[in-house]
Structure 1
Amino acid sequence: MVGDLAHWLPMDVDIWAWVGGTQRELHEAGNTGLAMALGDVPAQALEGRFAQLDVVAPAITQHAESLEKPWLELFARYWHLLGRVGDRAMGGVALDDAASLAEFAERGDVAECPAAPGGVEILAVTQANTDGPGYAAARLSSLGAALDGVGPDSLAFAGLATQYVLALVDAGQAAEGVAYAEAAVERLRGAGREASWELGAASARALLAAGRPGDALTALDASTGFKPDDPVAKGRREALLRSLVLATLDRTQEAVEALPDLDVVGDHPREWAEWARTVRVLVESGGSIANSWQLGRILRQWMTYFETMGGHRARFELALTAGHLAVARQGLWQARLLADEAEAALAGLRATEGLTDRVAELRAAAGAAKEAPQPGPRDELVAYFDAADGSTADPERWVGWLWPLSGADLEATRRHTTTLGFLGYPGVGADIYWKALAEDADPAAAGEEDLAYLTGLLIEARQDERVESLAARLPETASHLALARLHRARERWEQTAAEAELAVANGGGLEGRRLWSGAVQQLGDNAKAAEILKPLLETGEAEEEDVWRVIVMSTAVEDWATVRAAATGLGMPIEQGEGPIEEEWHLVRVILPAPDGSQREVLAVRTGPATARLAIPQPRGMEYNAGDVVVIDPRPLEPIPEGEEERESFVIPFAGVTMLRPGGYTSWFFDGAAPSEDEWTEFNEVLAERGWPMWVYSDENYRVTHPASGEQLPGVFGWIAIPPAVRPADLDAVLDDITEQWSHPLAWLDLAREVGIEAERHERISKEYGL
């Protein structure tokens, strides 16, 4: 893994040699899991496996501190931050961590690390994410100082130079940025090295900012073959930049064709502001781009993301871009709100020159545009709204049409404010609804539906004080329900349970029991949570989802009588009797958590309404293994195919909920050159006869080295699981017997060490074949 990464990741070759050596040290010290994770962290950062990265990198950092390995700590912190401020484009929320890393990299015991300049680079990226122009001077200062100490022979040079060019552009010195980029490319060429694609792209951006789009396209074409620092993102980033340059050149159709689809950039915040800017240029030049309410809703979500992450400049630019797009489609109410959004974003910016004028331009454009004509008379708009086809109606238009009625007409207010919430403006909707129900009227007299809608908007807008104020003015049942909803949204489970229980005691019924049961389940008491819902089954109020929740929670506590009764009520053919339900239904895929924060998909046999027995041996260190019976959530995670042939081969995935009964199986690793087809068939048959699950984890690309010729041979590695009644020595004997006549030996080193038989032979095999 490290050998491959060293060819394309932005770190000095020396650091990768150090990483390899550190991995060996950790292996020898018994920290195998940490050693394996170390090599995977860069890929996690670049491939977007952030759930893993956010677990693994801090764990490595903590171990590095305890082991007093500052270079290892720098490595883990660098990649974790790159995963945060790179593709995820975090800004202000990561500034302190980035500054801390830059300071850490200057420590005496760290400064000589080849990767130390990465601390300055990460800080510059974070500052650019927060407010590029506002931090331009600071970035130029720190990057300039770092570049003074790094020559073009270092792999850190291109990354630092790239950030320096981008800082010059943000400082309004685009021409200087062009010159610096050209000089940096020449210095790299003089050192016998090629520029990175990112440096070439920065040069193109500087040329575009300097008003030279034709030269920008030429530069982009020239850099397309350069090796990228981030190979995973290069394709979409290059296409997006190309689209922007072509759009600027009025080559509209080519720009439209080059523009990455929304589903390509939708998970990559770093591209959002530039993508929206390009779309605006294309829309205004008549390109075949759908400027729809759906686009507006997505851009609004992106603004909310950057507001949360401290991406103040991106939030501002998105608000203005989305505002002008809204004007173009006659969503004038939204354009006015987006002008307010852009103005609010100014408070987080350090450099604001000319920005208030741009906000004023948007307001003027909205004021000069014509509203879309209403579909009918004002007093009939609610009826028209209700009659509209939900699949084709434009909610953005309806917000504008209903606005004059909202606040005065309750029916219109309900539809208007909830639609505002749907489009990303819950705070605006909450303000209108609040005035209508809580200021101009007595909320105690409001209907349940209105109170539920208002509470939902207030919670979504994070107006918690208003929820509490509202609850204090409501009758007891409605008051407890409102507070229970608030506590659930904020994941305060004890308070949720307490308020929901009081609501049920005062006639809170269906919603109260659902809130109460859900909170109690979160607190770990499945038995009580199921008991709370059971009365709904008895009265017939329960919906199918409630029945399934009872089944899952009752399964978790092995209340099989309740499981059978509930399943029978759903029409499921369950064998009657007492005790566990252990039938053989069909194969399923169970999605379970892994220690590194990722998820694993494990083949299993469904044995009941909410149970499955795992069939695949798992590596050591996992909390589950073959033979374990787990509780599953019986809602499929993927839609069932409609075609009969597809359904026959489709294995349904279900989320794992909790362990029910461990099988006690132990897994043992094997590795070596792949045997012949006949030998492998016998191997499988012998293990299957004994009921010992085996699974191959290697793929067709896995190779081992012939000890005599050095030839690369197809390899195979995997795990075998044995039940608790089988001794490890029994497995060792069986494996020894099966593989005795193979052309190439198989190694099971950990098992041999466990049983104390021929461990040296397995060590020799592992070394000779490079396992």
Structure 2
Amino acid sequence: MERLASKLRRPLGRLDRLARARLSLEIAESQPIAARPSDPEDILRVRAAASAARLGDRVLARRHAAALFDLGFASESAALLERLLAERPDLDVARLLENAYLAAGESDRHRALGERLLAAGDDASRRVGRWISARRLARQGDFTGSNEHLVALATDERDAVAARLFRASNARAQRDWPAVLRLIDEVLALDPNLGGGGHHWERMLAATLLGAWDKVRDSAARLGMTIAGDAGPIDECWELCKIRVVHPDGELQDLWARRSGPCTAKLLQISSLRHPQRYGDRVAFDTLAVEDAPGPNEADPPVMIYAELATLARGGCFAFRIDGVHPGEPALAGLRRVVEAHRGALQLQSGAGYRIVSPEGAEHPGLCAFIVYPAEVELARAAAALDAYARTLPGPLMWPELAEAAGDDETCSRHRMLVGA
């Protein structure tokens, strides 16, 4: 676990869990199987007794503190860890103590601990104090203050890599992609084998957002990816996925997309008509999936959902709703061909249970679909072609917004009357 921890792209709380796991492993190795308690309260009693019997044993004291923390006694755990840290600077004890402070809501004690260690006369204490303060300030969003400590830590070869990675994490939180790319490049120069690929993903993301395609290609090659061409933007045709976009009013929508590179995708789904259209947009996304969704068909594997980070290029499309009586599958296929003939796309929104009622009160199977056209398409011609085809169908279809955008006031008024009816 320790060997692999440095390979995580964003460790988040994994290092804290690792510190606690290390203590559990030490206990497991020190006791015969028959003597190992399984109940958490029994574990606490055993560890408390062992620590009391050997007051100077720091390992036993850390085990005791971890048992207190696991049972929710964060303040008591913090008090014990404070004594250990006062005896000797220790990064592992400091990280456990930070967890205890956070769990107990002891922000003032957390801050005071870092300040006290920073003011100490020895380098070991100041090193621990810088790490505590850097993490605390980053949690509070004071990235400038956090980075001041990390810059100082990076001058020590023991912390050169970890401090830069932490600064890269701070830069990412600020969307400072030039800093992210520069710091990861520095880390990989210090240790080319670091991360086993994890940091190359972060490098590709930052480089994609900055248009540094040579670095995207370099990291992709190091990860064994095959990408066409030797230079310039990457525009592949990879697997389907979904991209979680955030509309201007904060509404989230998961849209079907096709991956076009390690960190890029083209949106294939017509988005909500209440917002600027996203169909055809090329986006950069966070390659850590937020969740997965069922595939297009029941037998397909799950589809990954990624969060959009930035729009690289707008599709520049306009979308409209078309509603009315379902004309049947053959006629619907013909309608789709009419739309596509004008470089548009039609995507069905309604299901088999959708029904509409005619002005005479008769119920019919209904059709609701979205149609989308690129900005350069002449909407008047596209709308006229739709109207000519719709007149051959047995029931009405309506697209008042498209008619209005095409400047066809007569059709727009007629369709609005049908919708109102």
The question of whether the paired residues in 2 share the 8 Å contact of 1:406 and 1:432 is answered with: no
Conserved in 1, the CA contact under 8 Å of 2:270 and 2:278?
yes
**Match of 1:736?**
387
Contact 1:497–1:520 under 8 Å retained in 2: no
Match of residue 326 from structure 2 = 674
- SS state of the match for residue 172, structure 2? helix
Match of 1:416 in 2: 64
- Whether the 8 Å CA contact 2:161–2:187 is kept in 1: the answer is yes
1:373 is matched with none
State the shift of 1:526 in Å: 1.1
Letter in 2 for 1:656: E
Report the CA distance between 1:534 and its aligned residue. 1.5
Alignment partner for residue 152 of structure 2, among 489, 499, 502? 502
Q: Per-residue deviation at 1:547?
A: 2.0
| Contact 1:615–1:693 under 8 Å retained in 2 | no
Q: 2:335 aligned with 1:683, yes or no? A: yes
The secondary structure found in structure 1 opposite 2:260 is strand
Matches within 5 A, 1:524-673: 524-538=175-189, 539-540=191-192, 542-543=194-195, 544-595=197-248, 597-622=250-275, 625-638=278-291, 648-673=300-325
Aligned ranges for residues 279-294 of structure 1 at < 5 Å? none
Between the aligned partners of 2:277 and 2:326, the Cα distance in structure 1 is 28
Q: Distance in 2 between matches of 1:387 and 1:624?
A: 65
Q: Is the 8 A contact 2:266 2:281 kept in 1?
A: yes
- Paired residues for 1:160-309 under 5 Å: none
RMSD: 3.0
The answer (yes or no) to whether the contact 2:339–2:382 under 8 Å persists in 1 is no
Q: CA deviation at 1:760?
A: 1.0
Hey, what's the Cα distance between the residues in 2 that align with 1:685 and 1:388? 72
Instruction: Return the alpha-carbon distance in structure 2 between the equivalents of residues 555 and 694 of structure 1.
Output: 31
After superposition, give the CA deviation of every residue in 1:567-595 in whole Å (9 maximum; x if it has no partner): 11111112242221101111111222345
Q: 1:459 to 1:729 in 2, by over 3 A?
A: same
In structure 2, the CA distance between the partners of 1:398 and 1:597, relative to structure 1 (3 Å rule), is farther
* 8 Å CA contact 2:339, 2:386 repeated in 1: no
Q: Secondary structure at the match of 2:154?
A: helix
1:411-470 CA distances to partner (integer Å, 9 max, x unpaired)?
A: 1233333344344443332222112222xx1xxx42332222223332343323333333
Q: TM-score, normalised by structure 2?
A: 0.80
Matched, 1:436 2:81: no
* Structure having the larger proportion of residues in strand: 2
AA partner of residue 630 (structure 1): V
CA contact (8 A) 2:200 2:219 kept: yes
1:456 aligns with 2:107: no
* 1:355 counterpart residue number: none
Distance 1:447 1:387, change over 3 A: farther
Write out per-residue CA displacement over residues 45-102 of structure 1, whole angstroms, 9 at most, x where no aligned residue: xxxxxxxxxxxxxxxxxxxxxxxxxxxxxxxxxxxxxxxxxxxxxxxxxxxxxxxxxx
Map 1:4-15 onto structure 2 (within 5 A). none
Find the aligned partners of 1:719 and 1:387 in 2 and give their Cα distance: 68
Q: Secondary structure at the match of 1:635?
A: coil
Identify the structure with the greater helix proportion.
1
- State the distance in 2 between where 1:638 and 1:661 align: 25
Question: Structure with the greater relative contact order (CA < 8 A, sep ≥ 6): 1 or 2?
Answer: 2
Pair 428,732 (structure 1): closer, same or farther in 2 beyond 3 Å: farther
1:714 aligns with 2:357: no
2:109 paired residue number:
466
Change (3 A) 1:499 1:691: farther
Aligned-partner Cα distance in 2 for 1:460–1:386: 29
The alpha carbon displacement at 1:688 in A equals 4.0
**Unaligned 5+ residue runs, structure 2?**
1-24
- Counterpart in the other structure of 2:49: 404
Match in the other structure for 1:512? 163
Q: What is the rounded CA distance, in whole Å, between the counterparts of 2:146 and 2:414 in structure 1? A: 61
CA distance in 2, matches of 1:638, 1:761: 45
Find runs of 4+ consecutive structure 1 residues off by over 6 angstroms.
385-389
CA distance in 2, matches of 1:590, 1:639: 11
Q: CA deviation at 1:689?
A: 5.0
Structure 1 residue 646: Cα displacement = 7.5
Partner of 1:382: 27
Secondary structure, aligned partner of 2:369: strand
Aligned to 2:12: none
1:670 and 1:748 in contact (8 A); partners too: yes
Distance 1:464 1:674 in 2: 63
CA distance in 1, matches of 2:192, 2:66: 30
Distance 1:503 1:484 in 2: 10
Distance in 2 separating the partners of 1:729 and 1:484: 60
Q: Which residue of 1 aligns with 2:412?
A: 759
Q: Percent identity?
A: 24
**Separation in structure 2 between the aligned mates of residue 400 and residue 583 of structure 1, nearest angstrom:** 60
Mapped partners of 1:727, 1:421: distance in 2: 67
Post-superposition CA distance 1:113-155 (Å, at most 9, x none): xxxxxxxxxxxxxxxxxxxxxxxxxxxxxxxxxxxxxxxxxxx
What is residue 137 of structure 2 aligned with on the other side?
487
CA distance in 2, matches of 1:388, 1:547: 42
Contact 1:478 1:503 in 2 (8 A): no
Answer yes or no: is the 8 Å Cα contact 1:590–1:632 preserved in 2: yes
Aligned length: 378
Tell me the distance in 1 between the aligned counterparts of 2:340 and 2:63.
Answer: 62
Cα displacement (A) at 1:737: 2.9
Unaligned runs of at least 5 residues, structure 1: 1-379
SS in structure 1 at match of 2:225: coil
